[in-house]
Amino acid sequence: MSSNQDHHPPRLARRDLLVAAASIVPAVVAGGALAQSAGTGAAPLAVDRHADGKAALVTGSSRGIGAAIARRLARDGFRVTVNYVRSQARAEEVVREIETGGGQAIAVQADVSDADAVRRLFDVGEAAFGGVDVVVANAGVMRLAPFGEMADGDFQHMIGVNMQGSFNTLREAARRVRDGGRIVTLSSSITRLRTATYGPYAATKAAQDIYASVLAKELAGRMISVNAVAPGVVDTPLFTDGKTPQQIEGFVQRTPHRRLGEPEDIANVVSALCGPDGDWINGEVVYANGGIV
């Protein structure tokens, strides 16, 4: 039989939490009129208040799809914990954009492959916002090579971040998300495309489909919906880096909409799942790929 400690890991002492919160990037609600983002010229993020009082935590949200999800959830009214590993400046910029739009956010460093770091990430987010209602396990890495050329280090790195990291995140989410909340993990449409050189990466993403289906059943009775979102080809460095224009165009031509997805396309799907009308979608893999598969 598991002890209470197994289900509720020790929290940091209050003083430690205050010190941690003071060292991150606090965001204060910007009341009144919305302004242009300082120094960037970016349009401010208008806030829809349907999620007022609720809190979201998004891993790997300093750039790309994760940043778009953080901004969109903030626009929906969630107070957002923005997570990063090394890109502190990018994470701080996401926080500033959220602040400018009238939202609240903090930036917290944590490597999701480290279980202790993930526990601290949740501790700080809970200390700042009083709990957590939505968790999005977005952090991920991609290394591509044919099986015969895949380096052990690249394979292990993907396992550590994509499989172990999402497991660490979902385990804490299962323990801490408040009843009625939402949990989303990022899969990939490559699990169905199965393109050459993507084998190990696709396997780590297929794990997300299983995680979502099983966790949804394990949380029965708590009204927490758990789903995987499987993007197609999205215009982010994770997809475009290392590819020639011809290779990218090949994927575009395979997509009925004849374009790459944008991070906001995926953020909109996550927003729908996390919104008031998304509770009946549970244990599913939602393919957001413009019809490529």
Q: Write out the catalytic residue numbers.
A: 201
Q: What amino acid is encoded at 285 in this protein?
A: V
Task: Give the per-residue SS3 of the chain.
Answer: CCCHHHHCCCCCCHHHHHHHHHHCCCCCCCCCCCCCCCCCCCCCCCCCHHHCCCEEEECCCCCHHHHHHHHHHHHCCCEEEEEECCCHHHHHHHHHHHHHCCCCEEEEECCCCCHHHHHHHHHHHHHHHCCCCEEEECCCCCCCCCHHHCCHHHHHHHHHHHHHHHHHHHHHHHHHCCCCCEEEEECCCHHHHCCCCCHHHHHHHHHHHHHHHHHHHHCCCCCCEEEEEEECCECCHHHHCCCCHHHHHHHHHHCCCCCCECHHHHHHHHHHHHCCCCCCCCCCEEEECCCCC
Strand ordering across the sheet containing 55-58: 105-109, 79-84, 55-58, 134-137, 182-186, 225-231, 285-288
